């Protein structure tokens, strides 16, 4: 199933999600479908939105902290007050994501979770090669459009689990 970009959405899959996992969400945590999710620090059973990753001091450190805990994108919602599991995308999933700025980006360029000095953002990405979580799979030269077609890379958590 191929979808097109919806400018009101936070992300759109192209095709089927790959390597879907089913982590839990704590009852006090709200996860909206499409949200960038990270492993809860200190507890491998739970995921939480990227914006809830603890402040690491500055923008670069916050991008790295979010990348270290990155799991993927929630395919389901988990409302507050409900402890539940959500399906989360894995390596190889192709999707449209929102860039922090409408800059040109080329096929093969990597993207990081966007962060400022206070925290990471849930659904916004920026080109970068230090804390990459996505790879651009289609060159976008437009400096007006913020949507980029990407493929999810293996998370650091997935890589660590494969080595065990």
Position 82 scores a pLDDT of 81
Structure tokens at 83: 């402890």
State residue 158's pLDDT score: 79
Q: What is the pLDDT of residues 96-121, one digit of tens each?
A: 999 998 889 999 999 999 999 999 99
Edge-first strand order for the sheet with 84-85 is 70-73, 36-40, 43-49, 24-25, 84-85
- Summarize pLDDT for 31-80 with one digit per residue, the tens: 999 999 999 877 888 999 999 999 999 999 999 999 999 999 999 998 87
Tell me how far apart the alpha carbons of residues 42 and 95 are, in angstroms, rounded to a whole number. Answer: 29
**pLDDT of 91 higher than 50:** yes
Residue 107 CB neighbours (<10 A): 11
Ordered by start, the domain boundaries in the chain are: 12-163
- Residue 43: strand, helix, or coil: strand
């Amino acid at each position: 199933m191929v979808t097109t970009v919806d400018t009101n959405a936070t992300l759109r899959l192209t095709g089927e999600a790959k390597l879907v996992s089913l982590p839990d969400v704590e009852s006090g945590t709200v996860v909206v479908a499409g949200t960038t999710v990270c492993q809860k620090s200190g507890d491998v059973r739970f995921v939480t939105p990227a914006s809830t990753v603890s402040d690491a001091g500055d923008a670069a450190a916050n991008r790295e902290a979010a990348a270290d805990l990155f799991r993927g994108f929630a395919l389901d919602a988990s409302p507050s007050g409900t402890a539940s599991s959500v399906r989360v995308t894995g390596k190889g999933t192709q999707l449209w994501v929102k860039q922090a700025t409408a800059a040109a980006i080329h096929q093969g360029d990597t993207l990081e979770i966007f962060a400022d000095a206070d925290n990471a953002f849930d659904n916004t990405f920026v080109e970068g090669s230090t804390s990459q979580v996505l790879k651009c799979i289609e060159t976008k030269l437009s400096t007006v459009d913020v949507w980029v077609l990407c493929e999810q890379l293996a998370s650091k958590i997935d890589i660590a689990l494969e080595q065990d």
